[in-house]
A and B are shown apart, each in its own frame.
Chain A
Amino acid sequence: MNKTLNPKAWYFVIPVFALVAFNAVVPLMTVVNYSFQETFGSNVFQWEGTRWFKEILHSERFHASLGRQFIFTFIILLIQLPLGIAIALTMPKKGWGVPVCLILMSMPLLIPWNVVGAMWNIFALPDIGFLGNSLNSIGFDYNFTQQSGDAWFTTILMDVWHWTSLVVLLSYAGLNSIQPAYYQAAEIDGASRWDIFRYIELPKMKKVLTLAILLRFMDSFMIYTEPFVLTGGGPGNATNFLSLDLVKMALGQFDLGPAAAMSLIYFLIVLLMCWVFYSLMMKDEGRT
C-alpha cells in the first residue's frame, strides 16, 4: 500500500510511545547505571567502568548458559515450526471441527507459565506422574530430576506442548487467507501436493510465519518461569538457561553490577538476532 506522508500521524502514536517509554526507558537506564558500578548495599556505589562487561564476556559460566540457550532455542524452533505447519495443513477447514480444534489447541497458551511448569512437574515425576511412570514401566530409566538428558527431554517436550499451538494458529490464519482461485489454477496446471505447498501455501504463509519465528525465538530465548518451576535449572546446571542464571546472579547472590552487565549483553544478543530476522524478511517482502 502506498502511504501518504503525514507528520501529524505522530499524534496518533504519542499514547503508545508514552506508555512504552514510561516502562522501558527508566528501568533500562537503571540497568545501564548498575552495569558500570559496584555496590555494597545501602546505596553506596563505586564506578567500575567496563569491568563487569569484560568479566561476563570472559566468564565460562556465561558461555555455558548462552550455549545451552542457543541449543534449546534451535531445537524447539526445529520441532515447533514444521509440526505447527503440518497440524495447520491437516486441520479441518470448515464444519464443527474448526471451533473444537481452535479452542482445544489454544488451551495451553492461556495457562499461566508457572502452572505449566507445575503441571509438567507432576505429569513427569517418575513415581506419581503419568509420563514418568509410563516411561519407567515400559523399561526406560527415566528421572528428570536426576538425569540431565531426561531433564532436557522434559523441558523441550513441555515447550513443544506449550507453544506449538501458537505456530498452528498463525499458520492456519495464513492458510485461510489463500483464495480458492490459487488452488483451482494449481489443479488445472496439474501441480502435485508438494508443489502446492511449496509455491502457493508457503509463500502465502510467509508473513505469519515471520511473526511465528520472531515470537518463538524471542520467547524461547527469554524462557524463565517454566524451567524454573520444572527443574530449577537442574540437575546441576543442565537446564540453567540465560534467564535462570541471570536471576540467580541478580537476586540470589545480589551481584547487581555483573547481573546488569549480563542483562545488557543478553538484551543486545536478542536485539541483534531479531534485527537480522526482521530485516531479512522485510527485504524479501519488499522485493515481491
Chain B
Amino acid sequence: MKKIKWVVPTFYIIFLMLPIYWLLNMSFKSTTEIINVYSLWPQDFTLDNYKTIFTDSTWYMGYVNSITYTVFNTIISVSAALPAAYAFSRYKFLGDKHLFFWLLTNRMAPPAVFALPFFQFYSSVNLFDTHVAIALSHCLFNIPLAVWILEGFMSAVPKELDETAYVDGYSFPKFFFKIFIPTIAAGIGITMFFCFMFSWVELLLAKTLTATIAKPIAAIMTRTSSTSGYELGLLAAAGSLTIIPGAVVIYFVRNYIAKGFAMGRV
C-alpha cells in the first residue's frame, strides 16, 4: 500500500509537464520545422527564436513591464491588506461581516464585465497605459484574496500574544511590526505568492489598460503572432520565457509554502 502511493502524484506531474515540454520543444525549432516535421524533440536545434526576443526591445520590454506592475501590485495589495486582515481577525465593528463579503464579491466580478468601463475610467484619470493603472486595477481581485488569506493566518495566532505584548508595555505599532508580522511571516509569504500569481497571469485587464508603454508580454505575444503571420516558434519561445518568473517565485516561497501550510497547527 505504502509503495504504490507515489504513483498518483507521479502521473499527475507527468501530465502537468507534457504540455510544457511540448512548448519548450517547439521553442527550439524553426517555424518551418514545426509545420512540416512532427518529432518528439527538435531535429534541427536552434536558438534563433530566443535570440529574436532578447534583441528586440518590443519583446523584452514586455517582460520588464509585466514584472514591474506585478511586483507593484503585490506590494500594494499586501501592505493594504495587512491592517485590514488584522482588524477582521481581532475586532468586531460596524458592518464588518458585510464589508468582508462585499470585498469578496469583487473577487467574483468577471473581468470581462469590467474591461470596457475600466478603459474609460483610467483614461479619464490620465492613468491609461501606465504600470500604476494595471497595478491598481489588479487590486480589485488581489486585495480581497489577500485579506482573506491573511485573515485566516492571523486568526490562527492566539489572542494572548497581543495581550501579553501590551502587558509588557509594547505600543500597538511596535507590537504589530516587531512581534506580529514576524509571527505570520509565512502567511505573508503565501499571500504574496498568490497576489503575484494572479497579477502575473491576468491578461484581459492588463491588455485593455495599455497601448504601448506598459504593454505586458502576454499582450505583445497575441499582437505579434497576428501581424507577422503565425510565428509558432517565436510564440513558443516567448511562452516558455513567461514560465520563468513564476518558477523563480515558487522557488523562493517553497520553504514558506511548506512552513506556511504547517501554520494551521499553531
Known: A9-B87, A9-B90. A278 touches B139 (CB 8 A): no
Majority secondary structure of chain A interface residues (helix, strand, loop or mixed): helix
Q: Which of B44-52, B53-61, B115-123 contacts A (4 or more CB under 8 A)?
A: B115-123
Q: Residue on B with the closest CB to A207?
A: B152
**A98→B255 CA distance, assembly (Å):** 10
Answer yes or no: A104 CB below 8 A from chain B CBs. Answer: yes
Using Cβ atoms and an 8 Å threshold, which residues of chain B touch A106?
Answer: 246, 250, 257
A117 to B: closest C-beta gap in Å: 10
User: Are B86's CB and A31's CB within 8 A?
Assistant: no
Q: Which of A50-58, A126-134, A140-148 contacts B (4 or more CB under 8 A)?
A: A126-134
User: Are A27's CB and B118's CB within 8 A?
Assistant: yes
Known: A27-B118, A122-B23, A130-B22. A115 touches B112 (CB 8 A): no
A8 to B: closest C-beta gap in Å: 8
Answer yes or no: A152 CB below 8 A from chain B CBs. Answer: no
- Interface size of A by Cβ–Cβ distance < 8 Å? 93
Answer yes or no: B80 CB below 8 A from chain A CBs. Answer: yes
Q: How large is the interface on B (under 10, 10 to 19, 20 to 34, 35 or more residues)?
A: 35 or more
User: Are B264's CB and A211's CB within 8 A?
Assistant: no
User: Are A16's CB and B94's CB within 8 A?
Assistant: no
User: Are B22's CB and A177's CB within 8 A?
Assistant: no
User: Are B9's CB and A128's CB within 8 A?
Assistant: no
**A267→B86 CA distance, assembly (Å):** 29
Answer yes or no: B19 CB below 8 A from chain A CBs. Answer: yes
**A275→B80 CA distance, assembly (Å):** 25
Q: Residue on A with the closest CB to B159?
A: A1
**A184→B144 CA distance, assembly (Å):** 38
**A114→B226 CA distance, assembly (Å):** 14
Q: Indicate with 1 or 0, residue by residue over B136-149, a CB within 8 angstroms of chain A CB atoms.
A: 11011001100110
User: Are A16's CB and B103's CB within 8 A?
Assistant: yes
Task: Give the number of A-B contacts (CB < 8 Å).
Answer: 271
User: Are A19's CB and B143's CB within 8 A?
Assistant: yes
User: Are A31's CB and B113's CB within 8 A?
Assistant: yes
Majority secondary structure of chain B interface residues (helix, strand, loop or mixed): helix
Interface residues of A in 85-121 (CB under 8 A from B): 86-87, 90-92, 97-99, 101-115, 118-120
For the A-B complex with A3-B92, A10-B94, A28-B114 known, give 15 more contacts whose Cβ atoms are closer than 8 Å.
A3-B90, A9-B93, A30-B117, A90-B5, A97-B6, A108-B16, A111-B239, A113-B201, A118-B221, A123-B22, A128-B38, A222-B110, A246-B110, A251-B116, A278-B101
Using a CB–CB distance below 8 Å, which chain B residues touch chain A? 5-9, 12-13, 15-20, 22-23, 26, 34-35, 38, 40, 76, 80-81, 83-84, 86-94, 96, 99, 101, 103-118, 120-121, 136-137, 139-140, 143-144, 147-148, 152, 155, 159, 197, 200-204, 217-218, 221-222, 232, 235-236, 239, 242-243, 245-247, 249-251, 254-255, 257-258, 260-265
Using a CB–CB distance below 8 Å, which chain A residues touch chain B? 1, 3-10, 12-13, 15-17, 19-20, 22-24, 26-28, 30-31, 83, 86-87, 90-92, 97-99, 101-115, 118-120, 122-123, 127-131, 133, 161, 164-165, 168-169, 172-174, 176-177, 179, 207, 211, 218, 221-222, 224-225, 229, 242-243, 246-247, 250-251, 256, 263, 266-267, 270-271, 274-275, 278
